Chains A and B, each alone.
Chain A
Amino acid sequence: MVGIVLVSHSYELAHGLAALASQVAGTEVRVEPAGGGPDGTLGTTGDAVRNAISRAECGQGVVVLADLGSSVLTVRHLLEEARSNGHIRLVDAPFVEGAIAAAVMSSAGQDLDDVARAAEEARGASKF
């Protein structure tokens, strides 16, 4: 299954969303949070993201969602450094809806392209 990484400035936000996505999609999908700076501050660190990606990866690629601004930059720098060959995909998607859509698509056995697309298409979804 495609792994999902959730990058947030907030430890609680990343972990809470990972818990929600796992509850909806099932625990067989690896949804890994990377949130918060050192010592409980708000922020994102490359190390946390790198570790989350390696926990999420199980051979079929990883979709990474980021909450805002500098968490996006953190992921971008990391992917540039790693010269990612495209199997780690940062998607431009709403954080909550994108994570849920991606996790469910992954749990249904869809591939990296489909999971990434589902996250991005979440932008157009109405809440009610």
Chain B
Amino acid sequence: MTWRGRPRRRAVQASSELAVALPSAVALHARPAATFVKTAMRFRSKVSVGVNGKLADAKSILAVLALGATGGTVLRLSAEGEDAPAALDALSACVTGLTE
């Protein structure tokens, strides 16, 4: 079998994804959720957070609260926009540093 496909073009996409777990004793509720949302709001990129198949706008406190993410849950973060990598870096650091 020969590979006849055209060379794949790599589109320049300003989008990134990563997964990060909440600290085991911290749920994404109340103050920790607000801290998370406020971190996301510092960036221009569209930022989403996924938990167990549910997806929320990371800049909406009500959407983030509705995820009901408990301590230790893996959050799947994705960002789209010019500052997407920086947004994910900041959010990842924010999540691992959350306290009750």
Contact = CB atoms under 8 A, between A and B. Distances in A.
Interface stretch (A4-12, A80-88, A97-105): A97-105
Given A108-B41, A128-B68, A25 B34 contact: yes
B66 interface: yes
Given A107-B38, A125-B66, A101 B31 contact: no
Interface residues of B, number: 14
Chain B interface, DSSP helix/strand/loop, else mixed: helix
B33 interface: yes
A62 B82 CA distance: 33
Contacts of B34: 24-26, 104, 107
Interface residues of A, number: 17
B14 interface: no
B69 to A, nearest CB: 12
7 contacts: A23-B30, A25-B34, A97-B62, A101-B60, A122-B62, A125-B60, A128-B66
